[in-house]
Amino acid sequence: MSGFAEQHAAAVREAAARIQPYVRRTPALRTDLDPGLRLKAECFQVTGSFKPRGAFNAILSLVERGPRPNGVIAVSSGNHAQAVALAARTVGLPALILIPEDANPAKVAATRALGAEVMQDGVTFANREQRLREVTAERQLTLVHPFNDWDVIHGQGTATLELLTDEPDLDVIAAPLGGGGLLSGAAIAAKSHASKVKVVGVEPAAADDAYRSWKAHRIVPLERAPSTLADGVRTTAIGELTFEVMFGKGLVDEVVTVTEAEIASAAGLAWTRLHLALEPTGALPLAAYLAGKLGRGRIGLILSGGNANLETMARLLTQ
């Protein structure tokens, strides 16, 4: 294992110990789809997604390092928002979350219910980074980035650390790919466990900036916010840190894309056959598996969350 991977794998293990009192150890489920398939069901995680792993690690680390911040700020379409709100409330810090106006209303309501101040008026996917910089400077808050932050990446890696503790002989691990925080953490944990484990990122074909970046060996942003059922990965570019982990250091072996029809079919199957209430983003690895894009062997899927828009799922399930 390289010095880079060893250093960051140690940080993932430290994150696991740090966040253990605050997150759930989610199960690695078996299924009748395939005896070699394992489903890491992060839809059962606190707030319904993997995001508290990174948020708690980042905010607890902030408090440990000191001085104590005035408060934290984040920008999110919903899952990171809820995670930051919960972690901040747990340690007694104010939290301000910028959420685009067209975000899932259920995720917005859940963020407010966790005690965070939510700013939506005039916030869009196009201007949210600019608004974030303005409000951060104005309020003197500390940013908890959804993916381009080492503490967040290390926290997200704890999901794969758990999966490989439960299922040490996996050949492939696949995770959704938006900004790259979850996949970077997964790659660090997987490659430190066994270099032969194949790590695959899955993103919508309609939001394929990471696939393009992988092929081009540089960050290739999308020109506009993508339109996809998988609203949790509607980023326009991966981060500099996540690019370095995934492609600079080569810890991610492959990126595959799935169509909107494949995403819809996987989400529907999760609800009706697996009895897992996944959101479309959480079903991305399942979509890749069902489409035969992950190869063969013992395969672990990181199913990242279950905070579905019920109107969307009702439409998908009645088509």
Q: Rounded to the nearest 5 degrees, what angle is found at the Cα of 190, between the Cα atoms of 185 and 195?
A: 135
Distance CA 109, CA 175 (A): 27
Annotated active-site residue 107? The verdict is: no
Q: Please answer whether residues 139 and 73 qualify as being in contact, where contact means their C-beta atoms are separated by less than 8 angstroms.
A: yes
Q: How many CA atoms lie within 13 A of 305 on its CB side?
A: 28
Q: Please answer whether residues 297 and 265 qualify as being in contact, where contact means their C-beta atoms are separated by less than 8 angstroms.
A: no
Q: Which of 40, 49, 51, 61 is catalytic?
A: 51
Annotated active-site residue 49? The verdict is: no
List the beta bridge partners of residue 119. 98
Q: Please answer whether residues 139 and 132 qualify as being in contact, where contact means their C-beta atoms are separated by less than 8 angstroms.
A: no
Distance CA 263, CA 228 (A): 9
Report the 10 Å Cβ neighbour count for 24.
14
**Locus of tokens 């259920």:** 106
List the beta bridge partners of residue 302. 40
What letter does residue 49 receive in the DSSP assignment? B
Q: Please answer whether residues 304 and 190 qualify as being in contact, where contact means their C-beta atoms are separated by less than 8 angstroms.
A: no
What would you measure as the largest C-alpha separation in the chain, in angstroms?
54
Q: Which of 61, 77, 184, 192 is catalytic?
A: 77
Active centre residues (catalytic): 51, 77
